[in-house]
Structure 1
C-alpha cells in the first residue's frame, strides 16, 4: 500500500462531521487507482476495536451504500464483518498470555475514565484498498486509541500519525481504476448519516477467511458511565 494512513493528513477540524467527511471525500476523489487490499500482509492478531456487527443502523447504511457500488472488483463486507479498528495489540504467535492479560488490565483501568460517546457514521469515501464510511468526532476515538496504543507493541505514541478512524464496507480485490467507485461514492453521499452509541471497547482475535475478516471477542471493556454522556 502506498500510504501508511489515508488520507495522509488529518482533517483540520477533528470533531466536525462535515469537515471530516469532506476531507475524506476530497482525498478519495483524487485517487486514480484502487489496489488489491488482500496484498497486505496478515497474521492472526489481537486487535482493539468497536464491534459493529450487531449495530442495525450501521448495517442498514452499509447495505444501502453497497447497493450503489459496482459489484465487480469489490468484496462487500457483510454485517458480521462491520467494525472500527483502533489498534493492533500484537500478533497471536508473538504475544504471551501474561502480556495479553497485563494489557487488558491496563486498558480496562483507563477505560474507567473515558465515558460513553456518540459517533456519526457518514457516507461515503474510501482509500486505495477499500470503500468506507467516515466517522466523527475523532477526539473520543483518539482518546481510546491513545489508551490502546500505550498497551500495544507500537512505539509511536502520536495518534494522528497512525490513526484514521473509519468503518469499511467493501474491499478492493484487484488493481483497477478508481473512477467507477469514486462516482458511486458521490451518489451515496445523498444518504443520511447514522449515529453510533459507543459504550464499550472490544478486544478480539482477528483472522482472515475467504477475503473477509472474522474475529472472536475476547474482552468487552465498558466505558465509564457519566450522566451527561448521552443528553
Structure 2
C-alpha cells in the first residue's frame, strides 16, 4: 500500500519518506540542546510507568490525503492515539515541566511524502490521490511507543530511537 502510493506521488516536487522512517508522531518534548541524559532517563521511566495502564490497541491506516506541505494516510480511531499522546505528555511534564509541548490538536497520520516546492500543480496531486482512494486499509497493532531524537532535514525528518516504551503490563503482553 505505502510503496504503491509513493510511486503514484513520486513527482519532482515531493520527497518520499524512506520506508524505514515512516512513523506516527505524537508529540515533541524538547530540542536536543535542552535535554540532558538524566532528563531522558527520567522521561523514559515516567512514561514506562504511565504506559503500563494503557493496553495495546489496534489502529487502521487508510484514507490518503494531503496538506500544503505533505501527503499521508490518516490513522484511526483517534481516541486511543490521543489517549496515548496525553499519557506520554503528562508523564513527561511530571519529570520535565519545561518540555516544549505544543497545545495543538492531534490529527493522527503517517506522512509518506513532503513537499519540496511552492509551485505544486494541485490537479496532478489530486488526481494521483484520487486514483489511490481504493487501496485497502492496513490494521496495525500498537503495543509500544518510542522516544526518539528527531532531526529536521530540508523537506524531511529523520529519527533515531532512544527508548522503547511498552504499553500494558510487560509480563502479560510478551506473547502478543
Same topology, TM > 0.5: yes
Choose from 166, 189, 192 the match for 2:136: 192
- 2:168 matched residue in structure 1: 224
- 1:138 matched residue in structure 2: 78
Instruction: Indicate conservation of the 8 Å contact 1:70/1:181, yes or no.
Output: no
- 1:162 matched residue in structure 2: 105
Aligned residues: 166
Which residues of 2 match residues 1-231 of structure 1 at below 5 A? Answer: 61-150=1-90, 151=92, 153-154=99-100, 161-175=104-118, 176-209=120-153, 211-225=155-169
CA 206–179 in structure 1, closer or farther in 2 if over 3 Å, else same:
same
How much has 1:117 moved relative to structure 2? 0.7
Q: Distance in 2 between matches of 1:84 and 1:169?
A: 11
Which digits, 9 at most, give the CA deviation of each residue in 1:40-62, with x for residues without a partner?
A: xxxxxxxxxxxxxxxxxxxxx21
User: TM-score normalized by structure 1?
Assistant: 0.66
User: TM-score normalized by structure 2?
Assistant: 0.85
Q: Distance in 1 between matches of 2:155 and 2:20?
A: 13
Q: Distance in 1 between matches of 2:8 and 2:30?
A: 36
- 5+ residue gaps, structure 2, are 94-98
CA 191–155 in structure 1, closer or farther in 2 if over 3 Å, else same:
closer
Structure 1 stretches of 4+ with a deviation exceeding 6 A read none
Q: Distance in 2 between matches of 1:72 and 1:123?
A: 23
